[in-house]
Amino acid sequence: MALKLIVESKDAAEMLANPIEILIEKNNEGLKQYFIRGPFIQTNVKNRNGRVYPRQLMEAVVAKYIQDRMSPAGFRSYGELGHPDGVEINLDRVSHYTQSLVWEGANCIGKAEILTENAMGRIVQTFLEKKLILGTSTRGLGTLSKMENPDGSKTVTSYEMIASDIVADPSAPQGFVQGILENKEYIVQDNGIIVECYQKLETALSVLPKDTELKEKLFLESVKNFLKDFNN
């Protein structure tokens, strides 16, 4: 299955209408802990990127994310400051982790703790203390409907949530998260490992045998597999 990297964000008006709440609490040692809380996911409505996330789909997505990344055995619901150009979680850029995701109507309300001992977390802490606007933005792999809806939007038909990142106000019309990153195509292998389509093709071509006849046969098979993965 060929998937695209999808990133979502809110413009300034949306963030002011649905502000992220800043919470400052104290732990058992009396040290301050910083949290953000607000709508991490909005469904059943066309967003600024022209996409609609059905509530039914996202309920299953969120349930899987909680099971896989927010289990009692340990949290790994990491989020980064700013969007990376891929699906990998860059540990040196982690600024927070999501503690809870709860549905309220069509919105999924998230609460995340800022990791103030990390470099990126300290940057977020500074923004919060100065009462500067920050937004949350989901990052994941998914597919879109081929046909547009009457309002010009496209419906997200499958989705796997990777992270909820913290981003600055992308108010410019051509903001840095303007939609699907078309240069990135991914596939999910049988073992669940996510790889780029091109990376899989390059790997297959790099191990072709020297035998001319066999090499030509395997080359054609590799290209056919690539096109099959790309178009599914």
12 and 113 assigned to the same domain: yes
Instruction: Kindly state whether residues 160 and 206 are assigned to the same domain.
Output: no
Same domain membership, residue 221 and residue 113: no
Domain span including residue 218: 194-231
Specify whether 18 is located in the same domain as 121. yes
pLDDT in tens, 44-85: 988 878 889 999 999 999 999 999 999 776 789 999 998 787
How far is Cα 124 from Cα 71, in angstroms, rounded to an integer? 25
Task: Write the burial class of residue 82 (CB in 10 Å: 0-12 exposed, 13-18 middle, 19+ buried).
Answer: middle
Classify the C-alpha dihedral 161-39-81-22 as positive or negative: negative
Asked if residue 202 lies in contact with residue 195, where contact means CB atoms within 8 angstroms, the answer is no
Residues 167 and 219 in one domain: no
Comparing 177 with 101, which gets the higher pLDDT? 101
State how far the Cα of 129 lies from the Cα of 116, in Å rounded to an integer. Answer: 12
CA distance 17 to 175: 19
In a domain, 70, yes or no: yes
Report the distance separating Cα 122 and Cα 223, nearest Å: 47
Q: Could you report the per-residue pLDDT of 198-225, keeping only the tens digit for each? A: 555 566 666 666 666 666 666 667 656 6
Question: What is the model's pLDDT at position 13?
Answer: 57
Mean pLDDT value of segment 169-181: 31
Domain total in the chain: 2
Residue at 184 is within a domain: no
pLDDT band at residue 106 under the 50/70/90 scheme: very high
pTM above 0.85, yes or no: no
Average pLDDT over residues 79-105: 91
**Beta-bridge partners for 42:** 107
CA distance 183 to 180: 9
Residue 122 lies in a domain: yes
Q: What percent of the chain has pLDDT over 90?
A: 36
Least Cα distance to 171 among 13, 6, 7 occurs for 13
Residue 43 lies in a domain: yes
What is the share, in percent, of the chain residues with pLDDT greater than 70?
A: 66
Q: Please say if the pLDDT value at position 103 is more than 50.
A: yes
